[in-house]
Copies of this chain bind each other. A is one copy, B any other.
Amino acid sequence: MPICQPGDIVMLVARDRKQSKFIFKLEETRKLHTHVGAIAHDDMIGQKLGAQVNSHTGHPFDLLAPSIDDLIRDIKRNSQIIFPKDIGFILMKMAITPGKTVLECGTGSGGLTSVLALMVGPHGKVHTYDQRDDMQSLAKKNIERIGLQDRVTFTLRDIAEGFEQTDADAVFLDVPRPWEYTAQAHRALAGGGFFGCLVPTTNQVSNLITALERDHFSFIEVCEVLVRYYKPVAERLRPTDRMVAHTGFLIFARAISGLTAEPEPAEEAGDAPVL
């Protein structure tokens, strides 16, 4: 029975036109302050998800679990973050599952870090690197807010010096010049480990492919993920007028030599019932 407990991350949605969302960790004796009044956490602890709670001014809210999409969207940020559409595909391609050890550089605002920490579960580990203290301070707060600090180590370092870990299951780079760190990523990975990267320009993609081939990576794949939303009206169904056209190119590879890049990605292959 989904009864709200101290430590749970919950989302309050205001029952009004604007549907303001508030995402936070439940803690005894604390209060949430909103534009339409305050609500004591103790009034939510013990409630079932889906319950309606009221602020001290009587404004109604729905008590919900946030989606990962909600969580990422809500993150406090001082940098460009990675979109849920891209994160979901990264999980699939890099096998981010409970129990895994994942390295990440840079930490940025901690959006991807948060999802990695969620997905590796209590027995997994995320080691995240950044050169900027202000970035990691914010990311730490974001991770603490969702209560996952025990799964994450934060290191301030230029990874040109290398990662501290070896035998990692996966390494993800979100840095402007990833081609300078592919050798370091290879050394940090277990045999055949998963490499992933996001860069915004085609020039960066070309540079990174060259570095991955040089530094003994195989199965290089380059792709983009696009999400197209529709206006959800049954009798006038149509795509929205505008969409996000680009966040970045995703590059994936495996830390193993000598296996040439696949000539055709699987989703391209003829008539076979691939996916």
Contact = CB atoms under 8 A, between A and B. Distances in A.
Contact of A97 (B50, B68, B209): B68
A242 to B, nearest CB: 5
Interface residues of A, number: 108
A240 interface: yes
B240 A275 contact: no
A234 B259 contact: no
Nearest to A211: B234
B48 A191 contact: yes
Interface of A: 1-2, 13, 15, 17, 19, 48-51, 62-69, 72-73, 77, 80-85, 87-95, 97-99, 111, 115, 118-119, 121-122, 167, 169, 190-194, 200-203, 205-207, 209-210, 213, 220-247, 249, 251, 254-256, 258-262, 264-268, 273-275
Given A222-B230, A241-B246, 19 more contacts: A49-B190, A49-B193, A63-B191, A66-B95, A72-B275, A85-B89, A85-B92, A85-B225, A87-B88, A89-B227, A91-B91, A200-B236, A203-B236, A209-B233, A227-B267, A229-B265, A240-B246, A240-B264, A240-B268
17 contacts: A15-B259, A48-B191, A49-B190, A64-B191, A67-B92, A88-B92, A97-B119, A98-B119, A202-B206, A222-B229, A222-B231, A225-B227, A226-B226, A229-B267, A239-B246, A240-B264, A242-B244
